[in-house]
Amino acid sequence: MARKPRVLVIGTGGTMGAKLVDGIWKYGEITMETLVNSTPRVKEHFEVSTTNLFRMDSADMKPDNWLTLANTIYYAMNDYDGIVVTIGSDTAAYAATAVSFLIQELNIPVVFTSALMHPEQLNTDAEVNLRDAITVAGRADIAETLIVFNGKIMRATRTKKVNASELGGFGSFETSYPLGDIQQFISLNTPYRKRSRSKPKLYNKLETDVATVKVYPGFDGNRIKNLVDYPVKGMVLEGFGLGNIPVLDNGMKEAIAYANSKNAAVVIASNCYLGKHWQRIYEAEIGNRLRGLRAIPVYDMLPETAYVKLMWVLAQTTDYKKVKSMMQKSYAGEITPFSKNKIDTMK
pLDDT above 70 (res 168): no
Confidence (pLDDT) at 347: 27
Nearest Cα to 118, choosing from 40, 13, 22, 8?
Answer: 13
Tell me whether residue 163 is in a domain. Answer: yes
87 or 242: whose pLDDT is higher? 87
Bridge-based pairing of strands 180-182 and 170-172 is unpaired
Q: Is residue 267 scored above 50 in pLDDT? A: yes
CA 214: distance to chain centroid? Answer: 18
Distance CA(8)–CA(74), nearest Å, equals: 12
pLDDT bracket for residue 144 (50, 70, 90): very high
In the chain, the amino acid numbered 280 is R
Q: Which residue, 157, 181, 202, sits at the end of a domain?
A: 202
pLDDT greater than 80 at residue 29: yes
- For the chain, what is the HEC assignment? CCCCCEEEEEEEECHHHCEEECCEEECCCCCHHHHHHCCCCHHHHCEEEEEEEEEECHHHCCHHHHHHHHHHHHCCHHHCCEEEEECCHHHHHHHHHHHHHHEECCCCCEEEECCCCCCCCCCCCHHHHHHHHHHHHHHCCCCCEEEEECCEEEEHHHEEECCCCCCCCEEECCCCCCCEEECCCEEECCCCCCCCCCCCEECCCCCCCEEEEECCCCCCCHHHHHHHHCCCCEEEEEEECCCECCCCCCCHHHHHHHHHHCCCEEEEEECCCCCCCHHHCHHHHHHHHHCCCCCEECCCCCHHHHHHHHHHHHCCCCCHHHHHHHHCCCCCCCCCCCCHHHCCCCC
CA dihedral 336, 337, 338, 341 (to 10 degrees): -100
What percent of the chain stands above pLDDT 70?
90
Listed residues 170, 202, 234: the one ending a domain: 202
Per the structure, the complete domain to which residue 51 belongs is given by 6-202
pLDDT over 90 for what percent of the chain? 66
Query: How confident is residue 344, by pLDDT bands cut at 50, 70 and 90?
Result: very low
Q: Within this chain, do residues 11 and 81 fall inside the same structural domain, yes or no?
A: yes
pLDDT in tens, 189-227: 978 999 999 999 999 999 999 999 999 999 999 999 999
For residues 215 and 139, membership in a common domain is answered with no
Given a cut of 50, is residue 97 above it in pLDDT?
yes
State the sign of the Cα–Cα–Cα–Cα dihedral 176, 181, 184, 185: positive
CATH number at residue 337: 3.40.50.40
Stretch among 3-7, 192-196, 284-288 having the lowest mean pLDDT: 284-288
pLDDT at 264 exceeding the cut of 70? yes
Q: Which residues share a beta bridge with 159? A: 172
Indicate the pTM of the whole model.
0.92
Residues 48 and 160 in one domain: yes
Query: Could you give the number of structural domains in the chain?
Result: 2
Query: Is there a contact between 37 and 78 (Cβ–Cβ < 8 Å)?
Result: no
Instruction: Pick the last residue of a domain from 202, 233, 258.
Output: 202
Domain membership flag for residue 193: yes
Beta strand 145-149 pairing with 110-113: parallel
Higher-confidence position of 291 and 143? 143
- Encode pLDDT of 218-242 as tens digits: 999 999 999 999 999 999 999 998 8
Based on the domain organization, do 110 and 242 belong to the same domain?
no
Confidence of residue 272 (pLDDT cuts 50, 70, 90): confident
pLDDT tier, 53 (very low <50, low <70, confident <90, very high otherwise): very high
Give the residue, 337 or 59, on which the prediction is more confident.
59
Which pLDDT does position 164 carry in this prediction?
Answer: 63
Based on the fold, state whether residues 108 and 237 are members of the same structural domain: no
pLDDT tops 80 at residue 130: yes
- Any idea what the CATH number is for the domain that residue 143 is in? 3.40.50.1170
Q: How far is CA 88 from CA 16, 91, 126, 309, in A?
A: 7, 7, 11, 21
Mean pLDDT of the chain: 89
CA-CA distance, 220 to 124, in Å (whole number)? 46
pLDDT digits 0-9 by tens, 288-326: 777 778 899 999 999 999 999 999 999 999 999 999 999
> Does position 117 have pLDDT exceeding 90, yes or no?
no
Residue 1, in any domain of the structure? no
Nearest of 107, 80, 315, 63 to residue 203 by alpha carbon: 315
Alpha-carbon gap, residue 174 to 157, rounded angstroms: 9
